[in-house]
Amino acid sequence: MTDGFEDLLAANRAYAESFDLAGFDGIAHAGVAVVTCMDSRIDPLRMLGLAPGDAKIFRNPGGRVTEAALEALVLGVHLLNVRRVLVVPHTRCAMASATLDELRARVGESAEQDASWQSFAVVEDQDAALADDVRKVRSHPLIPATVQVGGFVYDVDTGLLDQHC
């Protein structure tokens, strides 16, 4: 085991003292699933007026609909009450504003070694990628047409969502 987590574990003990989420099931009570970016400026529950227990959240760099995201959505739709899916990339996303070569160079500089072998799912055209991602969800054979799927861009400067597709 490594040191270096004490502050977080202390915070966790304080959290557990007033823990009120015990006995929750794993269902998405608001019937919502969100695929969004790992960006720390995004608070996926609060931005939708939701609370713990309400939604399934799947995050990755860029908020892309990957195979793993589709796996989560299929489980969400069939076993966890998901009826609406929001795909939510955001403004000023590093994955959509840098090229693959730029990201590899920046990581390589930080790592002080070659990073040219590392894959990064960079986005050249965020709107086109979003439309493609929404299409992937809508056309998935295990996601029924009754599930509503929308593509939105979250503005990290205003907190607003803008529906694109």
Chain contacts with Zn ion (rule: CB under 5 A): 37, 39, 93
Residues 6+ apart with CB under 8 A from 55: 28, 30, 32, 33, 34, 44, 45, 48
Q: How far is CA 133 from CA 43, 66, 148, in A?
A: 21, 8, 14
Q: Which is nearer to Zn ion, 31 or 90 (CB)?
A: 90
Report, in Å, the least distance between residue 144 CB and Zn ion. Answer: 29
Q: Which is nearer to Zn ion, 32 or 37 (CB)?
A: 37
Q: Which is nearer to Zn ion, 51 or 128 (CB)?
A: 128
Q: Which is nearer to Zn ion, 55 or 93 (CB)?
A: 93
At residue 58, the 3 state secondary structure works out as strand
Q: Which is nearer to Zn ion, 37 or 85 (CB)?
A: 37
What order of strands is seen across the sheet that includes strand 32-37? 55-60, 32-37, 84-88, 148-154, 161-163
Report, in Å, the least distance between residue 162 CB and Zn ion. Answer: 16
Report, in Å, the least distance between residue 92 CB and Zn ion. Answer: 8
Report, in Å, the least distance between residue 120 CB and Zn ion. Answer: 12
If you ran DSSP here, which 8-state letter would residue 26 be given? S
Report, in Å, the least distance between residue 38 CB and Zn ion. Answer: 7
Bridge partners for 85 per DSSP? 33, 149
* Block residue for tokens 């202390």: 10
